[in-house]
Structure 1
Amino acid sequence: MNDIALRGFSTDQRVSYGLTLMVVSVLVSPAIDILAKLAIATVPAAEITAARFLLQVIFILPIAVARGRLFDLTWRKSALHALRGGLLLLTMLSFITTLKVMEVADAIAIFFVEPIILTILGSIFLKEAIGWRRYTACAVGFLGALLVIQPSMQEVGPIALLPIVAAFTLAVFLLVTRMVAQNEDPWSMQFHAGIWGGLFCLVMLALGEGTGSSVFDPVWPDGRVWVYLVGVGITATISGVLAVYAYRAAPASVLAPLQYLEIVSATILGWLVFGDLPDALKWLGIAIIIASGLYIIWRERKLQKSASVPPVSPAI
């Protein structure tokens, strides 16, 4: 449904429509990680990332061209697109590499400290006013993350910290997005970030060939892995497109709390596919992370009702 069709909707209908799309988006999103975890057993993280970028660019290109702003570029815009693409690449590489040894629900739970990191970075670089309540919520959220990380560190080692790296790079990505989003078409932004991320990824794969690296040395996928790679690209595109239209129909402050449904669907899918379930300590950490994130969202909504917050997850 496009923006013109939505004009005939009442405010409540638009919000309900946006909520529906967002729920579907966050429930579909963990399928990306499940497929990536299946693929990374035999192919490197950079190859999975490249496949996702490639398929997303292919799907987005016709829409971006039809909107007529795809080639509205300057050197500054191109540099910012390249920066966003590089940050998105680092986010995806960090998170997908984690999935090789960690349970999907655990990795996503740690990754969801991203809104907390974004809040702190916003106060530092964008001079956004952050009171003691939100700083306290950030500290509590990080303690929750430690409850998930600590047993994971014992199980898999320092790689358990990679979701924090992914959360940090995504937070920086969103800060840069805020800088350019005012005068840019969202579809064009997604396309250019995908192009640059894909190019960087291909360079890494070319340099990594023959090195034996489990992250960068490319391998030729077998038949089943091709299905996983294509599935990653398709589900990422579907989830991303649904989120775009959800945020067009309803306020970000209304939709943002729904992102935590992703932990629920990730836990269910991880249990169905891999038989993985978080233990009691990890569940406690997950609950603290969710509670802290929801409080920060509620507090921002209360203090800055007119502020627009970008979606937290571009379907990692």
Structure 2
Amino acid sequence: MAKTGALRHDQIELAPVVLFLVGEPVLGDRAVSRLIERALERNPATAVTKIDAEQYAAGQLAAAVGPSLFAEPNVVAASNLQKMSDAFLADALAYVAAPDPDVVLILRHDGGTRGKRLLDAVRAGGFQCCEIPAVKYPNEKAALVRDEVARARRRMTADAVEALVDAHGNDVGELVAATSQLLSDVEGTIDEAAVRTYYAGRIQAGGFDIADAAVAGNGGKAVSLARHALASGVAPVPIVAALAYKLRTLALVAARKGASARPGDPTMSPGQRRSAERIAGQWSNEALATAIQAVAQADAEVKGASRDPEFALERVILRVAAAKRG
């Protein structure tokens, strides 16, 4: 069997042994679920067994891959290989040396060095091995959204993709869920207005709206938005985090003076880069330094250093806005 390490997780087919090296948990979940669904589509009577390699006891794998009373096909999904027990390592090494061609064994390893002997054995056997890297940067998250939309044979404008990443970019699972929700609820092409309207009350969107107003020097608007967010149950911590992220982006653009913030720069999307370049031009280096120091102090205060985190939040918003105004 030819090695297929270059395949995407959604291109992997049912086979005696499949290994997923998972850096992004939500995509790892999807990859494993997809193969199980494929097996059930092929034969609804397929027996599916899930094994936790960390809690594994000797002999479980042999029992799971063994023939059943009614000879149904078997799919065995083993997770937590990065924490595998010694018993699992021994049994899995023995099994992959001569796997049952009528059984599908799905192995999921979420990073680390534990179990390297087994991973090497799977690769040496020529079995399907797929790496699912972590989704870290805005352009990777935007690509994930576009892929979700294309998979559904729908359209989303570039501005809408960027707005959605801004709203849910802190959590890839939330980002995927939000994309699915929009695809389900919005008819036709999904534009930025639909995203902003649909997720106006979300924590991340609120945090970035507050940060946008503060760095624009509009302290009154930013405080008003913050009070609304607090009243709706949003904690000060993510709002300060959004403010810190916005200022770090401005500082990065200011330091590069636009020379290195190319469209391919993974640290920000094209829309974020254009916006940051425009706003950064309105800030002096001294003002940025003052604002960043104020946010660093507020970050400690809202995480326990202050008895009144809400006051600390309002104070830092006003300090950032004042720094921008000069």
Q: TM-score normalised to the size of structure 1?
A: 0.25
Bigger strand share: 2
Q: Say which one has the larger Rg.
A: 2
TM-score by length of structure 2 reads: 0.24
